Amino acid sequence: MRKLSQTIVPLILVFSALVSVRPALADSAEPAQATTAQDQHSQNMKLLASLAKTGVTNSDIAFWGHLAYQGNYSGFRVIDISEPETPSVLADVDCGSGQGDVTVWGNILVRSVDYPMTERSCAGERSPDPTKPGQFEGVQVFDVSDPHDPQLVKLVDTDCGSHTNTLIPDLANGRLLIYVLSYFLLPGPNCGDGREANPLHAKFSIVSVPLSHPQDAAVVATPAIDADPFALDGLGPTIGCHDVGVFMPLHLAAVACLSEAQLWDISDPLHPTTLARIHNPDPGFEIWHSATWTWDGKYIVFGDESESGSCHGDQTEMDGRVWFYRLSDLLHGATSPVGSFLIPRDQGDEYCSAHMFNVVPVKDRYVLVSSWYGGGTDVIDFTDPTRATEIAYYDVESPNPGSFWAAYWYNGFIYGSDIPNGFDTFLFSGPQRAGAQRLDHLNPQTQEAYLR
């Protein structure tokens, strides 16, 4: 989501035969470059490399081995990060519309499509008439076994499309379960204006992707969501959730549902149950947007995407923050946060707000890596959640001012998705990173292991 007066791309614009996509291989004449002459940054943060992708909105990132998959509003890129200082694009896939959130498991990639497409193939474009029957919005399933030549194998329609998606591995049953998050703000072929039984939407979709036959992916459940309605000027109202962060060892999900947050028991992932509903601190959230966990499962971080924009160097501002909640409090009925954080650097007229983030997998310390749109990429120590502090940052100013959708720690480096510019590799050299564990893969909204 984005400031209304600017471009609220994730929220406001929300609106099976094997098919060959159109991958464009990276041009060897355009190697990854790091440009730092005009950038603002702390001494312990360095920009190592940048891979330009302009002319589209760059969105979320997922990782498998030495590959990063970066979504965008036209498709996604496959990026080799085996050498983080010299990443290279293996494929640039042109397929469909926004917003392009991606999750990956082995040779399977799932991509969110939240705008109706004119055709049910990669040749489709964003429809000028979103209510026209027969168009597609939902999730795309790709075979990425050849990272140079991904193939679209299935389109799965979901009501109100897919704004985001969260992957739950269900290996005992030979499948992936995909929580598809969506809501009605603008109409679609199966969304709003009487096209759904509940005009507020008030549900999410669960898609099953068989590991051995991903072309058989299908919706297997549509659980109801009980939350307060959410509306923006001239749009909605609706009931739905924006992001889900799951912690698999505890079978719990932290859920950002626009108007409130929730804690779900996902022991039976097809039938989640609500354990807690969390309403605004006073004053507090404008939009409950994002959620992640500490690696010991003790704390949840929720992000507020400010509709109006924040980060003016005034620490009395309460919107656009990340907020810290203790799990044991929520399980015992206490829903007050234990602390919050807003970057201290004044961003002037640039739109700034917390967005997508994850926690560094290091013992005995809590370190959060987060994107802040125009505020750049930030590193926050919240080992004491009541006194979270900024310990590093990088704010891209050249060659074009950056605006970061996502920033994630993965295997010793920070990778950023710069909305107008592309993909960046950062090195954070502070002592707080010491002992960080390596991972085989990372879907940032899916934490699969304890770190204790």
Mean pLDDT is lowest, of 75-79, 222-226, 314-318, 407-411, for: 314-318
Q: Taking 80 as the threshold, does the pLDDT of residue 236 lie above it?
A: no
Separation CA 301–CA 325 (nearest Å) = 6
Q: Taking 80 as the threshold, does the pLDDT of residue 436 lie above it?
A: yes
Question: Where does the pLDDT of residue 331 fall: very low under 50, low under 70, confident under 90, or very high at 90 and above?
Answer: very high
pLDDT of residue 96: 86
Q: What angle do CA 440, 413, 67 make, to 5 degrees?
A: 45
Burial class (CB in 10 A: 0-12, 13-18, 19+), 30: exposed
pLDDT (average), residues 216-233:
94
Tens of pLDDT, residues 283-293: 778 999 999 99
What are the E-state strand segments in 251-371? 252-256, 261-265, 273-278, 288-293, 299-304, 322-326, 339-341, 357-359, 367-371
pLDDT of residue 33: 58
Q: Which amino acid is at 47?
A: L
Q: Taking 70 as the threshold, does the pLDDT of residue 29 lie above it?
A: no
pLDDT (average), residues 346-363:
96
- Better pLDDT: 67 or 186: 67
Specify whether the CB–CB gap between 413 and 427 falls below 8 A. Answer: yes
Q: Taking 50 as the threshold, does the pLDDT of residue 81 lie above it?
A: yes
Q: Taking 70 as the threshold, does the pLDDT of residue 118 lie above it?
A: yes
Instruction: Report which DSSP code applies to 65.
Output: T
pLDDT of residue 192: 82
Question: Does the pTM exceed 0.95?
Answer: no
pLDDT of residue 267: 98
Q: Taking 60 as the threshold, does the pLDDT of residue 18 lie above it?
A: no
61 phi/psi in degrees, rounded to 5: -135, 145
Question: What percent of the chain stands above pLDDT 90?
Answer: 81
pLDDT of residue 140: 98
Separation CA 123–CA 106 (nearest Å) = 26
Strand partners, 414: 409, 426
Q: Taking 60 as the threshold, does the pLDDT of residue 384 lie above it?
A: yes
pLDDT of residue 5: 34
Q: Taking 50 as the threshold, does the pLDDT of residue 3 lie above it?
A: no
pLDDT of residue 32: 63
Say if strands 243-247 and 446-447 run parallel, antiparallel, or are unpaired: parallel
* Cα-Cα-Cα-Cα dihedral sign, residues 157, 159, 163, 167: negative
